[in-house]
Amino acid sequence: MLQIKDLQVHYGGIHALRGISLEVPDGKIISLIGANGAGKSTTLKAIMGLVPKTSGTILYDKKDITESKTKDIVKDGLILTPEGRRVFPDLTVDENITLGAYVRKDKDGIAKDRKWVFELFPRLEERKWQAAGTLSGGEQQMLAVARSLMGRPKLLMMDEPSLGLAPLIVKNIFGIIKEINQAGVNVLLIEQNAKAALEISDYGYVMETGVVTLSGTGKDLLVNDRVKKAYLGE
Ligand code: ATP
């Protein structure tokens, strides 16, 4: 379980996180929703040790990782799939996938997970030898997720996995996120597509300008008037 307490982050004079507290219990899908600039990406980056924190604590399985280095956080099983499908365009799909396992030494486990990600994304197996830069946007997004899974995350954090994808592929991606969670991976999800995110989430947090203003089960937030108006376009 991930526990964040009173996390604050400044970028120079910008107070991006003003005391965020949230939890990701084992076995669950948790989503963060909120407008552009609310601080969602910053929250994930702070967890991964990618931005300096002003104050607050981050515990993972009761271990204090607030000041841990990113590479040690990855070794503890926390993995971030960043926004914008950052695949290596000149490497093949297969090479990108192999790179996702770079911190691991368990050859058998790696082979097993490679088989699993190709089962999750048959498209990628068909395009194994193709340069990643020649894939469609949706395929690159799948590759970014597949590569993250090769690190064998205990907690997978995803920043806008559905951004810019066609509706049919969006549906597919959310189905796969559920499948990944059912395979035992905890998920912390950031989404502009609040409806689809809340539909698969056990619990959600709404962020506005650096604070959590509302939280509840995915079901409750989907019928909450404020959420409906501000984020579901109803
Ligand atoms: P988006 O969905 O647009 O990414 P977000 O909710 O993830 O939004 P953040 O990217 O976390 O929001 O940004 C929170 C605030 O911090 C914003 O005001 C943003 O302009 C600012 N910010 C983010 N990154 C930096 C940076 N590297 N330097 C300075 N300010 C930053």
Cα(41) to ligand 1 centroid in Å equals: 7
ipTM, 2 dp: 0.91
Which residue's alpha carbon is at the smallest distance from atom 18 of ligand 1? 37
Chain centroid, CA 40 distance in Å: 11
Tell me the per-residue pLDDT of 163-209, one tens digit each, with 9 for 90 and over: 877 787 888 889 989 999 999 999 999 998 899 999 999 999 999 99
Cα(94) to ligand 1 centroid in Å equals: 32
Atom of ligand 1 nearest to the CA of 207: 6
Q: Is 11 in the pocket of ligand 1 (CB under 6 A)?
A: yes
Does the domain at 1-77+153-234 match CATH 3.40.50.300? Answer given as yes
Confidence at residue 191, expressed as pLDDT on a 0 to 100 scale: 92
Tell me the per-residue pLDDT of 2-41, one tens digit each, with 9 for 90 and over: 999 999 999 999 999 999 999 999 999 999 999 889 999 9
Tell me the per-residue pLDDT of 92-149, one tens digit each, with 9 for 90 and over: 999 999 999 988 889 999 999 999 999 989 999 999 999 999 998 888 988 999 999 9
Answer yes or no: are the C-beta atoms of 148 and 177 closer than 8 Å: no
By CB atoms closer than 10 A (0-12, 13-18, 19+), residue 79 is buried
Kindly list the domain boundaries of the chain, sorted by start residue: 1-77+153-234, 86-152
Helix, strand, coil share of the chain (percent; to 5): 40, 25, 35
